[in-house]
Amino acid sequence: MNLAIYCAATWMTDERAEIARGLRRRDPSVLDRLIEQYQHRLFRYLVYLAGNRSLAEDLFQETWLRVLERGRQYDGKSPFETWLFAIARHLLIDTLRRKSPASLDALRDPGEGAVLWEPPAADPSAYELLAGREQEAQMAAAVAGVPAVYREVLMLRFQEDLALEQIAAVVGAPLSTVKSRLYRGLSALRQQMERSPS
Amino acid sequence: MNPDVHQRAQGLIAAALVEGLPASEQAWLDEHLPGCPACAQSAAATRRAIEALRWVAVSADPALVQATQQRVRMRTQELAERQERWLPLAVSCGLATLVSLVTLTYLWQGFAWLGEQWSLPALTWQAGFVSAWFLPTSLAAVALWMQSRSATNGNRETVHWVPSVGPRRGER
């Protein structure tokens, strides 16, 4: 058991070091692989954070360009996704500041008719597909109703399974703030779900 | 049952998900929940909320991913070309600065000698010295600035992508 943990830890460290070396060299094959590997996680984070699919798509491209340009800053000591999410977060904040001096809370409402999440693709029957889509739409609405600062940490904790320390590194906030946001976010999400017709 | 007990249970339900519980607290909660329908319902609602987060599928469009890879490759090439251009330029600038510093006193003496030969006022030959000293550098700076501006405008080219139609399954 201990050997397995040791091997896994060594492998992760090696992988991080390899990523750091590739980014320092600006190796296109490493970047291609990283984009493939982290495409869904990064995009999901951006959609959750921005609450706006179109903005998330723009920021997705910008984030990878920033990774290329600032790749030398990644030292390989922390997980790559923590660094990646932090870059994406800064880009979003910069974008919002340029557009208007709004905080992340301003992104709370995605707007009428906005589609943030797609329904599941392959259910066996038409009825199940429809039911699944309806349920998913309700869940998406409930999640979208949670303020962005809470939605962000909830997503990092429960969908990305990041440790609390890693979340603190991404959002640039003390651990106590992260915990407080998680508790409040859970409460807000529960309230939203109780409100939604199910 | 004491209301404080329920409050404690509510706190522990959230804490178990957010940061985990010590074994003693977890044992207390496990013992409390089966005998308390209200707290058990609350725990179930919290679990459903977490499942909602995990269930909602979001995936990147393959066309967006391809366009991003293409854009990143183009930018990589641009950065490599820029680095190739700047390295010899930086070396040249360094050498030019060194030579200028070494020849500074000779240049000053040369202008002073010319001023004396042609009986020029001191201010005139000194102005000539300053021009000779700064003009090439200023011209080079303007040329480099214009070159970098044109390079920056060229970099603003965006790779467009067309979103694909149809449902996609969320992937990790």
3-state secondary structure of A72: helix
B24 CB-side CA count, 13 A: 0
Please state, as a whole number, how many other Cβ atoms lie within 10 Å of the Cβ of residue A194.
12
Compute the half-sphere exposure of residue B55: CA atoms within 13 Å on the CB side of its CA: 19
pLDDT of residue A133: 66
DSSP β-bridge partners for residue A118: B57
Predicted confidence band at A124 (pLDDT cuts at 50, 70, 90)? very low
Return the higher-pLDDT residue of A196 and A157: A157
Q: Hey, which residues 33-52 in chain A have their CB within 8 Å of chain B?
A: 35-36, 39-44, 47-48
Question: Could you give the domains of chain A?
Answer: 2-195 (1.10.10.10)
Closest Cα partner for A166 from A104, A93, A80?
Answer: A80
pLDDT: which is higher, A196 or B71: B71
Q: Is the pLDDT of residue A67 over 80?
A: yes
Look at residue B164 in the predicted model and tell me its pLDDT: 44
Our CA-based measurement puts residue B126 at a distance from the nearest CA of chain A, in whole angstroms, of 46
**Is residue B142 pLDDT above 70, yes or no?**
yes
Q: Give me the half-sphere count of Cα atoms (radius 13 Å) on the Cβ side of residue B68.
A: 30
Question: What was the pLDDT predicted at A32?
Answer: 94
pLDDT at site A1: 58
Residue B131 has pLDDT above 70, yes or no: yes
Using pLDDT thresholds of 50, 70 and 90, give the confidence band for residue B162.
Answer: low
**Segment A80-119, tens digit of pLDDT:** 999 999 999 999 989 888 876 555 555 444 444 444 555 4
Q: A186 and B61 in contact by Cβ < 8 A?
A: no
Torsion of CA B42, B46, B52, B53, to 10 degrees: 170
- Residue B138 predicted with pLDDT over 90: no
How many cross-chain Cβ pairs, A to B, lie less than 8 Å apart? 128
Is A68 a residue whose pLDDT tops 60?
A: yes
- What pLDDT does residue A9 have? 67
Q: Is A122 on the interface with B (CB under 8 A)?
A: yes
CB-based burial label for A58 (10 Å; 0-12, 13-18, 19+): middle
Q: Are A61 and B64 within 8 A, CB to CB? A: yes
Q: For B10-51, how does the pLDDT look when each residue is reduced to its tens digit (9 = 90+)?
A: 889 989 988 889 999 999 999 999 989 989 988 988 888 888
Closest C-alpha to B50, from B14, B19, B26: B14
**Closest CA of chain A from B67, distance in Å:** 8
Write out pLDDT tens, residues A25-43: 999 999 999 999 999 999 9
Q: What percent of chain B stands above pLDDT 90?
A: 28
- Nearest chain A residue to B12 by CA distance is A183
Cα separation, A8 vs A124, in Å, equals 38
Question: What pLDDT sits at residue A80?
Answer: 93
Among residues of chain A, what percentage have pLDDT more than 90? 45
Instruction: Give residue-wise pLDDT tens across range B41-57.
Output: 889 888 888 887 777 77
**Neighbour tally for B112: CB within 10 Å:** 15
DSSP 3-state of B57: strand
Choose from A22-26, A143-147, B82-86 the range with maximum mean pLDDT.
A22-26
Which residues 6+ apart lie within 8 Å of A96 measured at CB? Answer: A102, A103, A104, A106, A107
